[in-house]
Structure 1
């Protein structure tokens, strides 16, 4: 039994499908909006059905602002380590420290050789990977004197200038299964990243033993190596097999892997947005709660509420000591002279009970609401940027319309509510209710919430109309390029309307969602 005590993290493993690039990128953006810590893509440069992974990572980095990014894992035989070192450092600097480096020794050697790569035996692949790690880390170590010097059998870099240094210490994770690769992971890597589907019973324990022994022999602690795991499965109403059943079954099985096998990062392999929503909304908070409870019991401590690792840490609490999810405040700034509603007429719900306590699972529903809203706020900033690109002549209004139409806020059925569209898909797993059922449940469970819910639904319809106004302004701008002021006015009105509404919705719903049990 191994638990290395690492903080839990959760990621997505998305197919880099070249057939529908917008959907591929959209899944990555959705993962960030749902609160995932990590987005990853496989790397098979010889596969024409796939987008180039490094190009895709760079594009996704520009479309996101918080989530970390990694290949899962990079095909080293077709990625020269000296160039790769500078590519990783550059992207890490551009993203403010959001990059991890997943590496593999190589597979599918016929395809690699057809692309100009050198065919290696398994033993040669391991030695080449270790030399590559030396090359990469020397490039990043700008405090050392002299140039990069690795005179290996497979990689030779003699005197190249070091740098740039990445924005943070980029972790190197190895996709490893065999003893020599596992030993290399223990000696040199920051993480072990296998896929559960490729492992047999007992492989995780045996792999941990090899990594731990190699780490100790290299003067390291076994805890220096994070244990990550790619997982796949199916959500179903009843248990059918491992990771094939309801969300609570998933949570229990992943918690067992965390506590018994030391896995601290779970990466879901799925291109289904509903799977991503269920995993983020139901499985992740339950795993966090189960692991925190067991760790606290083992140490004799009292468990404390657990929030996702990505929860904003700078917001002051406004709801009392026991309730840790904090609504985003409305700063009161307005860009437009128009008012589409009377904010002073907004009803308020019942005041929270300051003596009530909440479980981490209950708190997760409100936190998810804030995370979804943060994604919409990020998209709003993108809309402002698009309009400025139109004004500068960098893109035309048609291109701006096309990009806005792919955004979550544009595709969202506002009459159902921002939260319903994203979160109710998760709760249907247990309650077989339609996406529209969240607000009726709030009305039913606490009649005092009815005025608030009625008002929120009204505002959702207004937001839909305001978005339509932005679209009409873009269309008008095509016919009359002097209409930039009208276009900016439409976006300013959207900004005022959306930010005001999101703050109001969070203020009124985060506590009732936990108290009334919307899951």
Structure 2
């Protein structure tokens, strides 16, 4: 079954819009609300502070980081925060996770690793470590990037369910680790060519098979940036622009040909509240 969500603005000057759009999304049946996690952007609020606010204002919709940049937070702190959010929300938190990017500017902001290659290696190590930290048992770990002694991130019972980990990935090494470890692949149309997607899907599949996993265990979630507007010239590339019918036709193709099972609408123009209404009331019913 296809699921639908929205990516909402984390900008400080759009906080009322974010809060109202979150409630609208839940009321109109969205399965997911996400906020970007760019701590290095001065215009954006901190996602890990916004997420509990959004969870507290809703009762059903899941809320995700889209996506957390691992180099700014240790796995033990991420695991503690995610476990806390699961306990306090009734299991509605989704951990979107990645290496951060574009990476060149991140070390200057305090990223833990000086190169993207090291950040990817750390992510490969961190995902299994996160799941161990959610087990409720003390974890001792002596890895290439992280060292822990008798650490646990769980206050009380282990989180139920364990927070799903969705990885934002585009290049071969990241796609392979997504297949190896992740619960979902979470790319964005603005950062790829649609023609590349079939090969990227195969890379995720191959990573899963090499790790002894069934590729179907990895959900395929697509961030779709664009705008729903009858008056704009239609586009279907690194932005999706046009009428509700144009959107429905494109998303059907993304589902049937490109194998995505979940779509997160990321409005790039206009009032997010109105764009959210248009997506859930005029596009989704056509699917």
Quote the residue 1:250 is aligned against: 247
Task: Confirm or deny: 8 A CA contact 1:68 1:100 kept in the other structure.
Answer: yes
Task: Identify the structure with the greater helix proportion.
Answer: 1
The Cα of 1:100 is off from its aligned counterpart by: 0.7
Unaligned segments of structure 2, at least 5 residues: none
Quote the residue 2:166 is aligned against: 173
Please say if 1:105 is aligned against 2:99: yes
Task: Identify the structure with the greater strand proportion.
Answer: 2
The separation in 1 between residues aligned to 2:230 and 2:14, in whole angstroms, is 31
Distance change (3 Å), C-alpha of 1:93 and 1:266:
same
Quote the residue 1:62 is aligned against: 56
Task: State the SS of the aligned residue for 1:267.
Answer: strand
The Cα of 1:45 is off from its aligned counterpart by: 1.0
Aligned partner of 1:79 among 55, 73, 76:
73
Please say if 1:163 is aligned against 2:160: no
Distance change (3 Å), C-alpha of 1:124 and 1:19:
same
The separation in 1 between residues aligned to 2:110 and 2:116, in whole angstroms, is 18
The Cα of 1:231 is off from its aligned counterpart by: 0.6
The separation in 2 between residues aligned to 1:110 and 1:219, in whole angstroms, is 34
Task: State the SS of the aligned residue for 2:12.
Answer: coil
Pick the structure with greater CA Rg.
1
The Cα of 1:111 is off from its aligned counterpart by: 4.7
The alignment's TM-score, normalised by the length of structure 2, stands at: 0.91
The alignment's TM-score, normalised by the length of structure 1, stands at: 0.52
Query: Cα deviations across residues 447-502 of structure 1 (Å, max 9, x unaligned)?
Result: xxxxxxxxxxxxxxxxxxxxxxxxxxxxxxxxxxxxxxxxxxxxxxxxxxxxxxxx
Alignment of 1:39-58 (within 5 A): 39-58=33-52
Task: Confirm or deny: 8 A CA contact 1:38 1:67 kept in the other structure.
Answer: yes
Aligned partner of 1:129 among 97, 104, 123:
123
The separation in 2 between residues aligned to 1:208 and 1:109, in whole angstroms, is 23
Quote the residue 1:224 is aligned against: 217
The separation in 2 between residues aligned to 1:23 and 1:201, in whole angstroms, is 30
- Structure possessing the higher relative contact order (Cα contacts under 8 Å, 6 or more residues apart): 2
The separation in 2 between residues aligned to 1:112 and 1:80, in whole angstroms, is 15
Task: State the SS of the aligned residue for 1:101.
Answer: strand
The separation in 2 between residues aligned to 1:87 and 1:63, in whole angstroms, is 18
Query: Cα deviations across residues 382-421 of structure 1 (Å, max 9, x unaligned)?
Result: xxxxxxxxxxxxxxxxxxxxxxxxxxxxxxxxxxxxxxxx
The separation in 1 between residues aligned to 2:116 and 2:42, in whole angstroms, is 25
CA RMSD of aligned residues (A): 1.7
Please say if 1:36 is aligned against 2:33: no
Quote the residue 1:362 is aligned against: none
Task: Provide runs of 4+ in structure 1 moved above 6 Å.
Answer: none
